[in-house]
Structure 1
Amino acid sequence: MAILFDWYEDPRPSDKQQGKRTLHPRIRYNGTIGTDLVRHRIQERCSLTETDVTAVLDALSHILGEELADGKQVHLDGIGYFHPCLTSTEPVTIATKRKATKVKLKAIQFRADQALKNEFGILKVKSLRGELNFKQLTNEQIDRLLTGYFKTHQFMRRYDFQNLCGMARSTAMRHIRRLRDEGKLKNEGSVMQPIYVPGDGYYGNNE
């Protein structure tokens, strides 16, 4: 099984809009394995019973939480380092009073040991969309493509727009948000599974 990924455009400051935009790969996860499978696979590799493994994993979770909450890094040989990361709950300045009350846990971060990276083996990847020739379209060109598309289609999904315009996913989402703000597209699906249809401001409605 290979790691699936898609291409996204790198963010760039607004004052650097000239020239070719660079891309970066982002993983589309193949799935998630849970504690049951991890426990079973550990048990297969040692003399512990699955009950013993459950107890060890439970104790490890508690110990990690206690030590991280004490401001320590935790290093597990062959796995890596865990450490807490903080953030503020609101903008803080020198004049802010009771600054310590504005702090919260942002995340528990992880840095892998080389031994764990070595277990990764040879990297096998597969692009979800193959080799693409990303286009730099103007808003007017996108309008014309959508006009033609909706002559033969009743609705559009994000990846339909992406394929139609030959764009990276992040670029497609940026244009879809713009088109929604302009009233040219509207979502008749859900937030997680949007389905776009022509909006009240759709240019094709005036033809």
Structure 2
Amino acid sequence: MAKYVMQEMRNLHKEGETLLYPRMVIDGCCETEELVEIITKGSTLRKGEVLASLQLISEGMATLMAHGRSVRLEGIGLFTPCLSLKDGKEREDTNGEATRRNAQSIEISDINFRAEKTLVRDTNSQCNLQRQKGDWRCNRSKYSPEERLSLALKHLESNPTLTISEYEHLTGLSHTAAGRELKKWSETPESGIYFKGSGSHKVYVKS
């Protein structure tokens, strides 16, 4: 039996308001060996045959996606490769004045997956939910936005940079909220905060 909680999420349309959404409690991860046992149980397929098939499917998908194609597995879903700049590579500016990024600066960084509706329906039809005691609440900061900005500037008086994780620790915000607020400060000239770097290397500094 699967369990769920009601998670508190900020209402993006109304500042300061939160809403409750159902969220499944994930109870561990089924690894390949366990999945193969389930597949072969009650069938004529042998474990080695299923493992070999999975390996061949994985290799075939990688080859196709490396050549710029998406892969759809009937009854499972659509797999699509996505690109990003390699670590340490700066983004191109839209005005064309910065160095143009060549293929050596770009890599496949992830594979996006969109489940087929049949997989969603089959999963839902077999799912028996039970509510778990306790709900998940948003991390609420005890400081006002102005006080959080002051904490950030004070940190930067004695440190050259400020990361999202450090701001999260300083303010009590969730990691997502901390990142969103730092981005807002960096886009507000009078805040005294700006950023340098990109992606996982982005840090915030005094402007």
Correspondence for 2:104 among 101, 104, 110: 101
Say which is worse superposed, 87-96 or 44-53, in terms of deviation: 87-96
Following TM superposition, by how much is the alpha carbon of 1:75 offset from its aligned partner in structure 2, in angstroms? 0.8
Long gaps (5+) in structure 1: 141-173, 181-207
Q: How large is the Cα RMSD of the aligned pairs?
A: 3.5
Separation of aligned partners in 2, 1:109 and 1:39: 24
Corresponding residue pairs, total: 143
Q: Distance in 2 between matches of 1:68 and 1:135?
A: 39
Identity fraction in percent: 25
Alignment TM-score, normalising by the size of structure 1: 0.56
Residue 184 of structure 1: aligned partner? none
Residue 97 of structure 2 is aligned to residue 92 of structure 1? no
1:134-149 alignment, distance < 5 Å: 139=143
The match for 2:117 is 114
TM-score, length basis structure 2: 0.56
- Between structure 1 and structure 2, the one with the greater Rg is 1
Give deviations 1:79-118, integer Å, cap 9, x for gaps: 1111101122332223323433322222101111111111
State the 1:65 CA deviation.
Answer: 1.1
CA contact (8 A) 1:73 1:82 kept: yes
Give the alignment of 1:124-135 within 5 angstroms. 124=129, 126-127=131-132, 129-130=134-135
**Mapped partners of 2:135, 2:172: distance in 1:** 27
- Give the alignment partner of residue 178 of structure 1, picking from 171, 187, 196: 171
Selected match of 2:27 from 24, 27, 30: 30
Which residue type is aligned with residue 2 of structure 1? A
Find the aligned partners of 2:110 and 2:12 in 1 and give their Cα distance.
26
